[in-house]
Protein backbone atom coordinates (compact mmCIF):
# COMPACT_ATOMS: atom_id res chain seq x y z
CA UNK A 1 0.00 0.00 0.00
CA UNK A 2 1.06 3.60 -0.49
CA UNK A 3 0.09 6.83 1.22
CA UNK A 4 -0.07 10.23 -0.40
CA UNK A 5 3.32 11.91 -0.37
CA UNK A 6 5.29 14.29 -2.59
CA UNK A 7 7.87 11.52 -3.01
CA UNK A 8 5.28 9.40 -4.79
CA UNK A 9 5.11 12.01 -7.55
CA UNK A 10 8.77 11.45 -8.47
CA UNK A 11 8.93 10.01 -11.97
CA UNK A 12 10.56 6.64 -12.44
CA UNK A 13 9.76 6.80 -16.16
CA UNK A 14 8.27 9.55 -18.35
CA UNK A 15 4.76 10.37 -17.10
CA UNK A 16 4.88 7.46 -14.65
CA UNK A 17 5.62 8.01 -10.97
CA UNK A 18 5.79 5.94 -7.80
CA UNK A 19 2.10 6.54 -7.14
CA UNK A 20 1.30 5.02 -10.54
CA UNK A 21 3.57 2.10 -9.71
CA UNK A 22 1.78 1.48 -6.42
CA UNK A 23 -1.51 1.20 -8.32
CA UNK A 24 -0.07 -0.98 -11.06
CA UNK A 25 1.65 -3.29 -8.60
CA UNK A 26 -1.73 -4.24 -7.13
CA UNK A 27 -2.64 -5.77 -10.50
CA UNK A 28 0.51 -7.92 -10.78
CA UNK A 29 0.82 -11.48 -9.56
CA UNK A 30 3.00 -11.70 -6.47
CA UNK A 31 4.79 -14.80 -7.71
CA UNK A 32 5.60 -13.49 -11.17
CA UNK A 33 2.98 -15.52 -13.03
CA UNK A 34 2.35 -14.27 -16.56
CA UNK A 35 -0.95 -16.00 -17.27
CA UNK A 36 -4.05 -13.93 -16.39
CA UNK A 37 -1.83 -10.91 -15.62
CA UNK A 38 -0.45 -10.19 -19.09
CA UNK A 39 -1.89 -6.68 -19.44
CA UNK A 40 -0.46 -5.48 -16.13
CA UNK A 41 2.91 -7.15 -16.70
CA UNK A 42 3.09 -5.64 -20.20
CA UNK A 43 2.57 -2.20 -18.67
CA UNK A 44 5.30 -2.85 -16.11
CA UNK A 45 7.66 -3.93 -18.88
CA UNK A 46 6.82 -0.73 -20.77
CA UNK A 47 7.78 1.26 -17.67
CA UNK A 48 11.32 -0.14 -17.50
CA UNK A 49 11.70 0.06 -21.27
CA UNK A 50 10.60 3.70 -21.27
CA UNK A 51 12.92 4.57 -18.40
CA UNK A 52 15.96 3.14 -20.13
CA UNK A 53 15.00 4.42 -23.58
CA UNK A 54 14.34 8.02 -22.59
CA UNK A 55 16.96 8.49 -19.89
CA UNK A 56 19.82 6.67 -21.57
CA UNK A 57 19.40 5.38 -25.11
CA UNK A 58 17.85 8.50 -26.64
CA UNK A 59 20.45 10.69 -24.94
CA UNK A 60 23.34 8.54 -26.15
CA UNK A 61 21.92 8.52 -29.68
CA UNK A 62 21.89 12.33 -29.66
CA UNK A 63 25.52 12.50 -28.52
CA UNK A 64 26.95 9.79 -30.78
CA UNK A 65 27.36 11.94 -33.94
CA UNK A 66 29.21 14.71 -32.07
CA UNK A 67 33.00 14.92 -32.35
CA UNK A 68 34.88 13.84 -29.23
CA UNK A 69 31.75 12.24 -27.78
CA UNK A 70 33.51 8.97 -26.96
CA UNK A 71 34.09 9.53 -23.24
CA UNK A 72 30.59 10.91 -22.64
CA UNK A 73 28.78 8.13 -24.51
CA UNK A 74 30.85 5.33 -23.00
CA UNK A 75 30.43 6.80 -19.51
CA UNK A 76 26.66 6.77 -19.99
CA UNK A 77 26.84 3.19 -21.25
CA UNK A 78 28.79 2.25 -18.12
CA UNK A 79 25.96 3.67 -16.01
CA UNK A 80 23.40 1.95 -18.21
CA UNK A 81 25.05 -1.45 -17.82
CA UNK A 82 24.63 -1.30 -14.06
CA UNK A 83 21.06 -0.02 -14.39
CA UNK A 84 20.15 -2.98 -16.60
CA UNK A 85 21.79 -5.44 -14.23
CA UNK A 86 19.95 -3.89 -11.28
CA UNK A 87 16.62 -4.64 -12.93
CA UNK A 88 17.75 -8.16 -13.81
CA UNK A 89 18.94 -9.02 -10.28
CA UNK A 90 16.26 -7.06 -8.41
CA UNK A 91 18.44 -4.57 -6.54
CA UNK A 92 21.04 -1.88 -7.15
CA UNK A 93 24.68 -2.30 -6.19
CA UNK A 94 25.82 -0.81 -2.89
CA UNK A 95 29.53 -1.62 -2.79
CA UNK A 96 32.46 -1.70 -5.21
CA UNK A 97 32.59 -5.52 -5.22
CA UNK A 98 28.87 -5.65 -6.06
CA UNK A 99 29.37 -3.09 -8.82
CA UNK A 100 32.26 -5.07 -10.25
CA UNK A 101 30.10 -8.18 -10.05
CA UNK A 102 27.41 -6.49 -12.14
CA UNK A 103 29.95 -5.89 -14.89
CA UNK A 104 31.21 -9.42 -14.70
CA UNK A 105 27.67 -10.80 -14.88
CA UNK A 106 26.99 -9.06 -18.19
CA UNK A 107 30.40 -8.91 -19.85
CA UNK A 108 31.22 -12.56 -19.15
CA UNK A 109 27.82 -14.17 -19.76
CA UNK A 110 26.11 -12.06 -22.43
CA UNK A 111 26.39 -13.49 -25.97
CA UNK A 112 26.91 -9.90 -27.14
CA UNK A 113 30.00 -9.35 -24.95
CA UNK A 114 31.46 -12.68 -23.85
CA UNK A 115 33.70 -13.32 -26.86
CA UNK A 116 35.51 -10.06 -26.15
CA UNK A 117 35.69 -10.63 -22.39
CA UNK A 118 36.94 -14.20 -22.26
CA UNK A 119 38.21 -14.09 -18.67
CA UNK A 120 37.19 -12.64 -15.33
CA UNK A 121 40.36 -10.54 -15.44
CA UNK A 122 39.36 -8.84 -18.69
CA UNK A 123 35.99 -7.88 -17.18
CA UNK A 124 37.64 -6.70 -13.96
CA UNK A 125 40.14 -4.61 -15.93
CA UNK A 126 37.38 -2.95 -17.93
CA UNK A 127 35.55 -2.13 -14.70
CA UNK A 128 38.68 -0.71 -13.05
CA UNK A 129 40.38 1.10 -15.92
CA UNK A 130 37.43 2.19 -18.04
CA UNK A 131 34.31 2.35 -15.87
CA UNK A 132 36.01 3.72 -12.75
CA UNK A 133 38.32 5.96 -14.73
CA UNK A 134 35.52 7.57 -16.71
CA UNK A 135 32.99 7.92 -13.91
CA UNK A 136 35.41 9.08 -11.21
CA UNK A 137 37.97 11.15 -13.12
CA UNK A 138 36.78 11.52 -16.72
CA UNK A 139 39.67 9.45 -18.05
CA UNK A 140 40.64 5.93 -19.06
CA UNK A 141 43.67 4.23 -17.54
CA UNK A 142 46.33 1.58 -18.20
CA UNK A 143 46.42 2.08 -21.96
CA UNK A 144 42.69 1.82 -22.68
CA UNK A 145 41.69 3.99 -25.66
CA UNK A 146 38.14 4.93 -26.62
CA UNK A 147 37.61 4.85 -30.39
CA UNK A 148 34.72 4.46 -32.84
CA UNK A 149 36.30 1.84 -35.11
CA UNK A 150 37.46 -1.77 -34.97
CA UNK A 151 36.28 -4.67 -32.80
CA UNK A 152 34.45 -3.99 -29.56
CA UNK A 153 37.65 -4.70 -27.59
CA UNK A 154 41.09 -5.13 -29.15
CA UNK A 155 44.58 -5.47 -27.68
CA UNK A 156 47.01 -3.52 -29.88
CA UNK A 157 50.65 -4.28 -30.70
CA UNK A 158 51.74 -1.09 -28.92
CA UNK A 159 50.30 -2.37 -25.63
CA UNK A 160 47.13 -0.28 -25.73
CA UNK A 161 43.61 -1.72 -25.57
CA UNK A 162 41.07 -0.13 -27.88
CA UNK A 163 37.39 0.02 -26.94
CA UNK A 164 35.02 0.67 -29.83
CA UNK A 165 32.39 2.71 -28.03
CA UNK A 166 29.90 2.36 -30.91
CA UNK A 167 30.21 -1.43 -30.90
CA UNK A 168 29.96 -1.45 -27.09
CA UNK A 169 26.73 0.53 -27.27
CA UNK A 170 25.23 -1.75 -29.92
CA UNK A 171 26.06 -4.80 -27.78
CA UNK A 172 24.50 -3.20 -24.71
CA UNK A 173 21.33 -2.29 -26.64
CA UNK A 174 21.04 -5.90 -27.76
CA UNK A 175 21.54 -7.13 -24.21
CA UNK A 176 18.76 -4.83 -23.02
CA UNK A 177 16.52 -5.95 -25.88
CA UNK A 178 17.07 -9.57 -24.87
CA UNK A 179 16.16 -8.72 -21.29
CA UNK A 180 12.93 -6.96 -22.28
CA UNK A 181 12.05 -9.91 -24.50
CA UNK A 182 12.63 -12.41 -21.72
CA UNK A 183 10.30 -10.50 -19.39
CA UNK A 184 7.38 -11.47 -21.62
CA UNK A 185 8.18 -15.18 -21.50
CA UNK A 186 5.70 -17.08 -19.29
CA UNK A 187 8.57 -19.06 -17.77
CA UNK A 188 10.53 -16.01 -16.51
CA UNK A 189 8.75 -15.63 -13.18
CA UNK A 190 11.86 -14.78 -11.16
CA UNK A 191 12.96 -12.14 -13.65
CA UNK A 192 9.59 -10.39 -13.32
CA UNK A 193 9.70 -10.65 -9.53
CA UNK A 194 13.16 -9.05 -9.65
CA UNK A 195 11.75 -6.25 -11.80
CA UNK A 196 9.15 -5.53 -9.12
CA UNK A 197 11.82 -5.52 -6.40
CA UNK A 198 14.01 -3.16 -8.43
CA UNK A 199 11.22 -0.64 -9.02
CA UNK A 200 10.20 -0.88 -5.36
CA UNK A 201 13.80 -0.03 -4.53
CA UNK A 202 13.73 3.02 -6.81
CA UNK A 203 10.64 4.32 -5.04
CA UNK A 204 12.04 3.56 -1.58
CA UNK A 205 15.17 5.57 -2.37
CA UNK A 206 13.11 8.47 -3.77
CA UNK A 207 11.74 9.41 -0.34
CA UNK A 208 10.30 8.28 2.97
CA UNK A 209 6.69 8.43 1.77
CA UNK A 210 6.86 5.15 -0.15
CA UNK A 211 5.44 1.99 1.33
CA UNK A 212 5.27 -1.37 -0.43
String of DSSP letters for the chain: -----GGGGSEEETTEEHHHHHHHHTTS-TT---TT-HHHHHHHHHHHHHHHIIIIIHHHHHHTTSTT-HHHHHHHHHHHHHHHHHHHHTS---SHHHHHHHHHHHHHH-TTTTTT--SHHHHHHHIIIIIHIIIIIS---TTEEEESSSSSEEE-TTS-EEEEHHHHHHHHHHHHHHHHHHHTSTT-HHHHHHHHHHHHHHHHHH-TT---
- Does residue 91 carry a pLDDT above 80? yes
- Does residue 5 carry a pLDDT above 60? no
Reported confidence tier of residue 83, pLDDT bands at 50, 70, 90: very high
pLDDT for 8:
58
State which of 2-6, 189-193, 206-210 shows the largest mean pLDDT: 189-193
pLDDT tens-digit profile of 25-71?
999 999 999 999 999 999 999 999 999 999 999 999 999 999 999 99
Amino acid sequence: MAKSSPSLRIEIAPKFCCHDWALLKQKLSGDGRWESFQTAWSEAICVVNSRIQKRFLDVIDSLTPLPYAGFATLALDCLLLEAIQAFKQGHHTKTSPESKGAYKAILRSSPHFSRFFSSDQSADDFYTYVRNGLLHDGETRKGYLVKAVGPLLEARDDGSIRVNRKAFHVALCREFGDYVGRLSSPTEKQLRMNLVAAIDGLCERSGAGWKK
